[in-house]
Structure 1
Amino acid sequence: MSELQPTTPSPEIRLKENISKKPETMTKIFWEKFSKNKLAILGAVILFIIVMSAVFAPLIAPYPQEQQSLLDKYKAPGLEHLMGTDKFGRDIFSRILYGARVSLLVGFASVVGSILIGTVLGALAGYFRGIVDAVIMRLVDIVLSIPDIFLLITLVTIFKPGVDKLILIFCLTGWTTTARLVRGEFLSLRSREYVLAAKTIGTKTHKIIFSHILPNALGPIIVSATLKVGSVILAESALSYLGFGIQPPIASWGNMLQDAQNFTVMIQAWWYPLFPGLFILITVLCFNFVGDGLRDALDPKNIK
């Protein structure tokens, strides 16, 4: 018996198969690449849990954040107090949840403000160039020449500590890296064919900037924003730890660490500094993991 030869589909059949296949959308391509980064997926899941816990803190927290009980002072973690108590007998788990609300609010709100400022200034500098670019970039150089921690402490001392003041300060000091990033993107995109075509048909300048060029520069901006949230949370915790940030009785992860900075407390009540520091570490790491995943997924070089 003769062996059966494999039959190849005719060109007409192959054409029909190709036509019947649905083209991959950008969302599907993005998700396929993002899902390959297991650390990014893990970070996104943990961040979702932390954010939801912060949003529903009044429902989840077993005790009010300011409820004191001197009889429960420095009580070790157990069924009654999952993460133990502090020097005033306050439940640390409840304060962690309420502190997450403050830290995440400062992080997200500050980044939104700084990204908006940096995007607008960077877009203007990259599109118009010349004197506009020179003025904006010199302003960026001046802000970057001042050490961050000294600039933040000086501004906090002037404006007085508070959630709204911290958000304003981080907005005014955190826009520089975004401005440089957006400027670089605009310098490379302003000479593309679709921009030249828009200019040729008389499209207004603001539409070219915000409707044609900016959407093509969103990838790096999103990645920068994700990484910046973790940096702001870390900076807010550092300021609160030094006593220049969120002030009691409002709970934040930073001022919880400030309360536990006594060496005796760290030895006898190890859970007191452990849990706030652990949540800061986990949250910042997760934002970095998600940022790395977004960078790989949004990189045009990885799209095939």
Structure 2
Amino acid sequence: MSQSNVEISQEELQLNPHLKEKPDTLTRIFFRKFLKNKLAVVGSIILFIIIMAAVFAPLIAPYSYEQQNLIDKLKPPSSEYWLGTDRYGRDIFTRLLYGGRVSLLVGFGAVLGALIVGVSIGALAGYYGGIIDAILMRVVDIVISIPSFFLLITVVTIFKPSVGNLILIFALTSWTSTARLVRGEFLTLRSREFVLASKTIGTKSYKIIFSHILPNAMGPIIVSATLLIGSVILAEAALSYFGLGISPPTPTWGNMLQDAQNYTVMLTAPWYPFFPGLLILLTVLSFNFIGDGLRDALDPKSLD
């Protein structure tokens, strides 16, 4: 009897070779879906290179980002200056590396702060509902009704635009979309069976929020955060371009563009504004591509 069973199982394996494969897990399904999105994979590779270059800037940069040499100002790309020099003779490659550290730090720090505020408010509004939901959502509506870029300009002109202040300002003006998203997820999940069962056995509300509901809402939150990082980096570059961001000599991609906006510089040294603009474009596009890939990979309704 056992021999026939073995023979049958071998025949089944021959007819169905997929039976030999390991059973799918959520992690395997996630990576399989994500890797199918070619743009998300390319964006991940580009973003990894940019982040590593920024992190290890002191080891990679051939010069100091403050080092000036007026004799070599506006030099084109060469073996000595890989991406050329700016109008003060500073190495553009070096300043791009250090500028990436500031831009990425502001992006990640601001989104982390926005997530803390947005998730907290959205979770409370969605879980408790009623008067709490009404009050918190009216606060969200008031913040949304204020033009965000003009609010940023107003706050930046009042406070000195340091890295810490920019992170705080962007965090306090970027949390509303996260709050609405989390509220919607909590309104859907709070009526599920596992939440009702937890309430029945007397589980504390904060444990239900953070241990049961929030983990099930992390997918949309991660996607939203990924897209928001690109938006913050773009907004920081815009502020710096208008002279309201981090002040030179500390480099950011935005103030490098602002420094290159001189008409003569753009005609005689087009490589100067090109490289920081290219890095802003690649970084923002990479975050958007990764966000699209995460959305597809975390969506249970998408085809495998």
What displacement does 1:19 show? 8.7
Tell me which residue corresponds to 1:6: none
Is the counterpart of residue 301 in structure 1 residue 282 in structure 2? no
Q: 1:21 to 1:73 in 2, by over 3 A?
A: closer
1:105 partner amino acid: L
Distance 2:207 2:19 in 1: 36
What displacement does 1:303 show? 6.0
Correspondences of 1:145-156 after superposition (within 5 Å): 145-156=145-156
Correspondences of 1:218-297 after superposition (within 5 Å): 218-297=218-297
Is the counterpart of residue 122 in structure 1 residue 122 in structure 2? yes
Is the counterpart of residue 109 in structure 1 residue 109 in structure 2? yes
Tell me which residue corresponds to 1:165: 165
2:183 partner amino acid: R
2:68 partner amino acid: Q
What displacement does 1:25 show? 1.1
Share of identical aligned residues, percent? Answer: 69
Correspondences of 1:125-140 after superposition (within 5 Å): 125-140=125-140
Tell me which residue corresponds to 1:3: none
Q: 1:196 to 1:63 in 2, by over 3 A?
A: same
What displacement does 1:302 show? 1.8
Distance 1:205 1:290 in 2: 34
Tell me which residue corresponds to 2:4: none
Output one character per residue of 1:88-108: Cα deviation in whole Å (capped at 9) or x when no partner. 000000000000000000000
Q: When the two structures are superposed, what TM-score results if normalisation uses the length of structure 2?
A: 0.94
Question: Which residues of structure 2 form unaligned runs of 5+?
Answer: 1-6
1:286 partner amino acid: S
What displacement does 1:22 show? 3.5
Correspondences of 1:43-82 after superposition (within 5 Å): 43-82=43-82
Once structures 1 and 2 are overlaid, which stretch shifts more, 154-163 or 234-243? 154-163
Tell me which residue corresponds to 1:215: 215
1:152 partner amino acid: L
Distance 1:21 1:86 in 2: 57
Output one character per residue of 1:4-31: Cα deviation in whole Å (capped at 9) or x when no partner. xxxxx7489759x999764211110000
Question: Which residues of structure 1 form unaligned runs of 5+?
Answer: 1-8
Correspondences of 1:185-196 after superposition (within 5 Å): 185-196=185-196
Distance 2:184 2:12 in 1: 44
Tell me which residue corresponds to 1:26: 26
Distance 1:217 1:166 in 2: 28
Distance 1:82 1:19 in 2: 54
What displacement does 1:159 show? 1.6
Distance 1:167 1:14 in 2: 59
Q: Which runs of 4+ in 1 moved over 3 A?
A: 9-15, 17-22
Q: 1:140 to 1:11 in 2, by over 3 A?
A: same
Count how many residue pairs are aligned between Structure 1 and Structure 2: 295
Q: 1:13 to 1:143 in 2, by over 3 A?
A: same
Distance 2:114 2:271 in 1: 35
Output one character per residue of 1:67-103: Cα deviation in whole Å (capped at 9) or x when no partner. 0001001101111111110010000000000000000
Q: What value does the CA root-mean-square deviation take over the aligned residues?
A: 1.7
Distance 1:76 1:11 in 2: 70
Tell me which residue corresponds to 2:3: none
